[in-house]
Amino acid sequence: MSTPASVTTELPGVLAGDRPRRPARWVRRLLRNPLSMAGTTIVALLVGCALAPGLLAPFPEDAGPSVHFDRAAQPPGPAHWFGTDEVGRDIFSRTVFGARVSLALVVAVLGIAVGVGVPSGLVAGYWHGRWPSTALMRVTDVFLAVPPLALALAVTAAFRPDLGSAMLAISFTWWPWFTRLVYGEVLARREEPYVEAARALGQRDRVILFREILPNVISPVVVKATLDVSFVILLGSSLAFLGVGAQEPTPDWGAMVARGRTFLPGHWWMSTMPGLAIFVAVMGFNLLGDALRDALDVWER
Amino acid sequence: MNTRLARVLVASLVLLWTGLASAQGPPGKDIHFTYIEGQVVTTIDPAKHTDESSHHAIINMYDPLLYPKVAEGSMEPGPHVAESWRVTDGAKTYTFQIRKGIRFHDGKELTADDVVFSFRRMVALKKGFSWLWNDVLTAEQVRAVGPQTVVFTLNQPYAPFLSTLTQLFIVNRDQVLANKKPGTYGDAGDYGEAYLGDNVAGSGPYTKESWDRQTTLAMKAFPGYWRGWKPNQITRVTYRTVQEEATMRTLLLGGQADMIDQWRTPATFEQLKKTPGIVVDETPSAQLYHIELNTQRAPLSDIRVRKALAFAFDYKTAIDQIFKGAVPAKGPLPNRVYGHSEKVQAYAQNVEQAKKELADAGIKPAQLTFDYWFPTGNEIGRQIGLLFQANLAAIGIKLNLKETPWAQMVQASANAETNPDVASIFDTLKYPHPDSHTYGMYHPSAWGSYRTISRYKNDEVTKVLEQARATVDRDAQLGLYKRSQELVVQDYPSIYVANPLHRIAFRDYVKGYRYVGLLGYDVAFYDFTIDKK
Amino acid sequence: MREFLLRRLLQVVPTVLGLLVLIFVVSRVMPGDPVRLALGPEATRQQIAAYEEKLGLDRPLPSQFGHYVAGLLRGDLGESIRTYRDVRLDIRDFLPATVELVTVALVIAVCLGVPFGIVAAMYPNTWIDNLSRLVAVPGVALPRFWVGILLQVGLAYQLGLFPIVGRAVRAPQTITGLYLLDATLTGDGGALLDAVRHLALPALTLALPTLAQVARLTRAAMIDVLKRPFMLVHAAYGVPPRRLVWRYGLRNGLTSVLTLVGMTYGALIENAFLVEVVFSWPGLSAYGAAAVLAKDFNAVVGVTLVVGLSFVLANVLVDLLYGYVDPRIRHN
């Protein structure tokens, strides 16, 4: 069991010890394993695609309003690595730009899920036994009882089926998992000696929550968030496949797979290439998440 | 015991004898036909259908009062259940003679009472095509004045009236009432709503064999059909729903389907045309593809802005590359419909003119942003949107594409506040009369549907249309409808793009296919003959 | 045991109620004029108002909810505005297809995944273990709709080994609605073969990522169990290794596997949506997706309810099995 972070930082310098300037243990563990190296590389590449797609895409204008009917439906070749679609746009370039949509979705969804889930979990866990906590956990149970895809679809039916709705819908279904995780963690640490000590010293509840408990809860939340990235990408692309995704001409992997289906099996590349991107992205984040979990040495719940 | 047995024997012999005598089914062998449609059949109740697949089911299992003259290649209504009619009293009274000898599937003969019952049922249930007779007729104004005579008394003359009767399908009154459940329609109970949701009480050439709602409707020939049967007609039909384009194509190519529906992409038809053994029937359709512009909201309320959009659009690329061949639209009425004005011309692209119109209006292109709505999954709407987006970007206007479920588009067009500004719409002729695409789109009373997203209001046009509807003389009537088209086109309420070619693919042994421009009537399986060597 | 059972079942009630409220609110809040869509664009205001009144849409929400729940208890799920009949009948027609698909996928995932995981755990870091890693790691990442398309293009279109779409060309007589069962019960060999051929690709597509997941987690659980002291004790007593694993190890590792199965069933139910679309499988999700697009609110509520309830039931079942297997839990 690791020492609670707050205790070591409160102690005077000598007792805390001057920690040596080496990269943290978890970073070293991360880079040791070939699988985790692969994961890190893939994720780095994806982030690169999202931040600077213009550098990597040979035909960046094809991610915007442009049509070239003269080069429509070309199979993969030297000029167009992934081929072109039915209005002549380069699929490789569009796939690179598609990373942006997926990662934006991830940031939005996990941002909201953590932003809502962690505080509610803290509150529910700390004041466990009182009725607000129980009520909150019952609400969480209800949300957890509905399969995410079905609920997300039902929610998007209430709005226009575009990327914003997808973000909202998935966040709607995601926050309970974080609440439950944090709730469990808080329950476990509530009776720890250092918490009792803080209470005995007269610290207010709110301060205890944020100073003592929260820092120790961050680790599992980070791990879960990273592992969740791949699920969010999968869910997002599934929704886009079913029709709830970014609007044309913005490239969205799931939507590209769905539109390409009309042209199977003759023009197979229109569906298979973007699908490949989804697969690689999900796998990359999976590997990274696994590696991070091992490196941070947290018990799996 | 013996007498009882004897009685049973005699009874069965009699039944066998009468059965043999009356069963004049299609001679020759059993011919099975598989047709594939991209949408499910939502209902088989002839008072409720609106979509194409349900239409197909009903055309084959029921008979309407009048039928388009398909055999003559015309969409105009002709005799069917009604043998003849008289129009009197300033075109307000229609007296129909009902043909004798038409039998329903259960053997009962079709009479005037069934016609009256069917009409009253449609109007009472208020679904499907019942709106055709709003303001024109009520249930009491239809009466049977003899066993084979029905009189319709209209409130005022209504030019398209006869055309609308192609949607009045006759149900078996006795059969329906025998199976009625408690309901809100007085003596008629639920008007057989529950019963006709699953069963057929018709007189059409085919009867329902089985129906698995999500995928397959199986029909078989009704031996006692009043028009009789000839060799090589279809005896069994499997009407399947498959939603993937690629699969439908493969099934046709592989011989597991005999015909697939008309809504395939141009790319699919290109491929099928080149395949031996497959025929692609191609004729100009009575369908309008246009981009509607909301004339009630600024800046589109300014005709110069609308003209700018119309001049910016690349019609040639749309027709050649996206539709892969279509008839350029000349105004709102599809070119092949009778009553089309020769004076109306197609719009053409002129980028300089587009810029000039905006300059005249004193608007800088960068100030303009529009949302282009198109139905989810509509491939052509999407490609046209991408093209239009590129065209407008070239003159500095921003167009946002909004793929929207059809349900939402329908709902949005119901109110002025939520009405789309720019919408991609396919509009098929509702009934075989020019009134469908003039009054139905440009008279203010029709506002609130996907057909009237343009919310067009021009008092002169309104007057002309109302006059046209009330005019009895056919030539004068058509003259007025032509005038309405000429006036509308000058106002640019839509960007009229094309009358897409109606294409449908089937195997080469299918003969007798005829498309006259009306939805559904081309897939009447009774009209086909199969010529397999 | 009985007390545990009762307690657990009772806990389900507030969850289900909450589920109902959630779904009902979402569906009614859906802006949209499903009525107008159903009646056609030319419907007059009176026609629309009449139909709305018939469906009870003009009453305030809480009243509508009460009305709906009362109907539910009677077995009336409301009328679908697309098929014009009780949603209950629609669900009855389409649910068996999804149940069959999901169950077969579950069987594939568990019957192949668990042994795979156990074997990998028994021989860590050998070629078997590495093979399982090779399958498991990418396996979990495979988007189901993509896998479905790949299998469809490769095995169905190009090689013609399997039918491309659909559930059957020759359906057996309907007894339960589950084609495999019905064909067996009626002794219809042709229909059975037909059903199996149609089921193969969709079930495989649905099962693959789950199979990888199951194998991976079984391996982890078994490795954990195999390390425990009691295993060492049995080994010291001379129990042969295979028996050690399968008889002693598995029973203790069973709890983790059970949780897995419970989670899996739920995930399979909802992922069936995607597979059904790709293969035109006439199941509940195809019906549900169409309902969402048409804003057929009674149908949407009905479908989400059924899916949600099966989720809840699957979890309850798993908990009960937990209680049965691990005495510590039921006496807690």
Q: How far is B452 from chain C (nearest CA, A)?
A: 10
Dihedral sign computed on CA atoms, order A21, A27, A31, A37 = negative
Nearest to A283 among C141, C157, C267 (CB): C141
C-beta atoms surrounding B189 within 10 Å: 18
Provide mean pLDDT across the span C163-178: 76
Contact residues, chain A, for C142 at CB < 8 Å: 279, 282
Across the interface, do A145 and C308 touch by the CB < 8 Å criterion?
Answer: yes
Instruction: Residue B437: name the closest of B368, B529, B337 by CA.
Output: B337
On whether the CB atoms of residues B35 and B532 are closer than 8 A, the answer is: no
pLDDT of res. C328: 61
Chain B's closest residue to C279, CA to CA, is B244
What pLDDT sits at residue C114?
83
What's the CATH number where A177 sits? 1.10.3720.10
Pairing of strands B326-328, B494-507: antiparallel
Question: Has residue A157 been placed in a domain?
Answer: yes
To 5 degrees, how large is the angle CA A289–CA A291–CA A294? 110
Distance from A237 to chain C by nearest Cα, in Å? 8
B382–chain A Cβ distance below 8 A for any pair: yes
Say how many CA atoms lie within 13 Å of C32 toward its Cβ: 29
**What pLDDT was estimated at residue B28?**
66
A26: in domain: no
Number of Cβ within a 10 Å radius of residue B145: 11
Residue of B nearest to A250 (CA): B401
Q: Is A293 within a domain? A: no
Q: What residues pair up with B95 in beta bridges, in sequence order?
A: B86, B151
Partners of chain A (3+ Cβ pairs below 8 A): B, C
> What's the number of domains chain A is made of?
1
Size of interface A-B (CB pairs under 8 A): 63
Contacting residues of B for C33, CB less than 8 Å apart: 407, 410-411, 414
Q: How many CA atoms lie within 13 A of A73 on its CB side?
A: 13
The residue with greater pLDDT, B309 or C31, is B309
* pTM exceeding 0.80: no
Identify whether the C-beta of residue B405 lies closer than 8 Å to the C-beta of residue B285.
no
Residue B341, token pair as written in the block: 């004005």
CB contact under 8 A, A66 and B401: no
User: Which one has a higher pLDDT value, C324 or A175?
Assistant: A175
What confidence tens digit (pLDDT) does each residue in C5-17 have? Answer: 777 777 777 777 7
Mean pLDDT of chain C: 77
User: What local confidence, expressed as pLDDT, does residue C44 receive?
Assistant: 64
DSSP B437: G
**In-domain check, residue A31:** no
- E strand segments, chain A: none
B410 vs C33, C90, C286: nearest CB = C33
Query: How high is the ipTM of this complex?
Result: 0.76
Judging contacts by C-beta atoms under 8 Å, the chain C residues touching residue A151 are: 22, 26, 304
Nearest to B201 by CA among B340, B61, B15, B55: B61
Nearest CA in chain A to B392: A65
* Phi then psi dihedrals of residue A67, to 5 deg: -135, 140
The answer to the question of residue A266 being in a domain is yes
> Distance (Å, rounded) from C-alpha C316 to C-alpha C290?
30
C-alpha to C-alpha distance for B231 and B246, rounded to whole angstroms: 34
Closest chain C residue to the Cα of B126, Cα to Cα: C47
> Are the Cβ atoms of A69 and B317 closer than 8 angstroms?
yes
Q: How many residues does chain B have?
A: 533
Residue with the two structure tokens 């099966």: C310
Cross-chain CB nearest to B244 (options C32, C50, C165): C165
Task: Determine the distance in angstroms separating the CA of B12 from the nearest CA of chain C, rounded to an integer.
Answer: 29
**List of chain B residues with pLDDT < 70:** 1-28, 533
Neighbours of chain B (3+ CB pairs under 8 A): A, C
| pLDDT per residue of chain A (301 residues) written in tens, 0 to 9 | 444 444 434 444 344 445 444 556 666 666 667 778 888 899 999 999 999 988 889 999 888 888 888 898 899 999 999 999 989 999 999 999 999 999 999 999 999 999 999 988 888 888 877 888 888 887 887 787 777 777 777 777 666 677 888 888 888 888 988 988 888 888 777 777 777 787 788 777 777 777 777 777 887 888 788 888 888 998 889 888 877 788 888 999 999 998 888 887 788 899 999 999 999 999 898 888 878 777 765 444 3
| CA–CA gap between residue C202 and residue B135 (Å, rounded) | 52
Name the residue with tokens 């563990």.
Answer: A29
Taking an 8 Å cut-off on Cβ atoms, the answer to whether B131 and C295 are in contact is no
- In this structure, the strands spanning B278-284 and B216-221 are unpaired
Rounded to a whole number of angstroms, the CA Rg of chain C reads 24
- Count of CB atoms situated within 10 Å of the CB of A82: 23
A203 located within any domain: yes
Residue-wise DSSP of B371-403: EEEEETT-HHHHHHHHHHHHHHHHTT-EEEEEE
Q: Give the bridge partners for B281, in sequence order.
A: B504
| C39: nearest CB among B127, B198, B408 | B127
Residues C253-263 have a mean pLDDT of: 69
Residue A5 placed within a domain: no
- How close B261 gets to chain C, by Cα (Å)? 17
Q: Give the span between the Cα atoms of C51 and C36, in whole angstroms.
A: 9
- Distance, in Å, from the CA atom of C108 to the CA atom of B148, rounded to the nearest integer, reads 65
pLDDT of residue B404: 83
Q: How far is CA C79 from its chain centroid?
A: 25
- Exposed/middle/buried for A139, CB within 10 Å: 0-12, 13-18, 19+? middle
Percent pLDDT > 70 in chain C is 81
A–C interface: beta-carbon pairs under 8 A: 133
Domain span at A109: 54-69+76-287
Q: For C230, list phi and psi in degrees, rounded to 5.
A: -65, -25
Q: Which chain C residues have a beta carbon less than 8 Å from that of A265? A: 153, 157-158
Q: Which of A160, A243, A247 sits opposite B401 (nearest CB)?
A: A247
Option in A147, A155, A238 nearest C307 (CB)? A147
> A238 — contact with chain C (CB < 8 Å)?
yes
Q: What angle, 0 to 180 degrees and rounded to 10, lies between the N-to-C axes of helices C189-226 and C127-141?
A: 110
Q: What is the mean pLDDT of residues C273-299?
A: 80
β-partners of residue B397 are none
What count of residues does chain C have?
332
Q: Is the peptide bond before B231 cis (omega within 30 degrees of 0)?
A: no
B199 touches chain C (CB under 8 A): no
Q: Report pLDDT for B36.
A: 94
* pLDDT at residue B527, as a whole number: 93
- Compute the average pLDDT of residues C105-113: 89
Rounded Cα–Cα distance for residues C199 and C283 (Å): 12
Q: Is B449 on the interface with C (CB under 8 A)?
A: yes
Crossing angle for the helix pair C284-294 and C297-325, nearest 10 degrees? 140
Which parts of chain C are beta strand (E)?
none
Omega prior to B299 cis, within 30 of 0: yes
Report the distance separating Cα C85 and Cα C24, nearest Å.
19
DSSP summary character for residue A33: S
Q: Do C311 and A145 lie within an 8 Å CB cutoff?
A: yes
Q: Which of B321, B377, B385 is the closest to A248 by Cβ?
A: B385
In this structure, is the dihedral angle defined by the CA atoms of residues A250, A255, A261 and A262, taken in order, positive or negative?
A: negative
Confidence of residue C307 (pLDDT cuts 50, 70, 90): confident
Q: How far, in Å, CA of B483 to CA of B199, rounded?
A: 46
- Name the minimum distance, in Å, from the CA of A290 to any CA of chain C: 10
- Closest among B399, B404, B342, B394 to B373, alpha carbons compared: B404
> Is residue A242 less than 8 Å (CB to CB) from chain B?
no
| CA–CA min distance B83, chain A (Å) | 46
User: In the numeric block, which tokens belong to residue C74?
Assistant: 């009677």
Residue with the two structure tokens 């839990």: C329
Separation between Cα atoms, residue B63 and residue B98, nearest integer Å: 12
Q: For position A54, what pLDDT does the model report? A: 87
- Domain assignment present for residue A25? The answer is no
Q: Give me the residues of C, 262-301, that contact B with CB < 8 A.
A: 280, 282, 286-287, 290, 293-295
Kindly state whether B40 is in contact with chain C, defined as any CB-CB distance less than 8 angstroms.
yes
Q: Where is C62: in which H helix or E strand? A: helix C61-74
Backbone dihedral region of A24: left (phi > 0), alpha (psi from -120 to 50 degrees) or beta? beta
Cβ-Cβ contacts under 8 Å, C31 against chain B: 411
Helix (H, G, I), strand (E, B) or coil at B214: coil
- Decide if B402 and A265 are in contact by the 8 Å CB cutoff: no
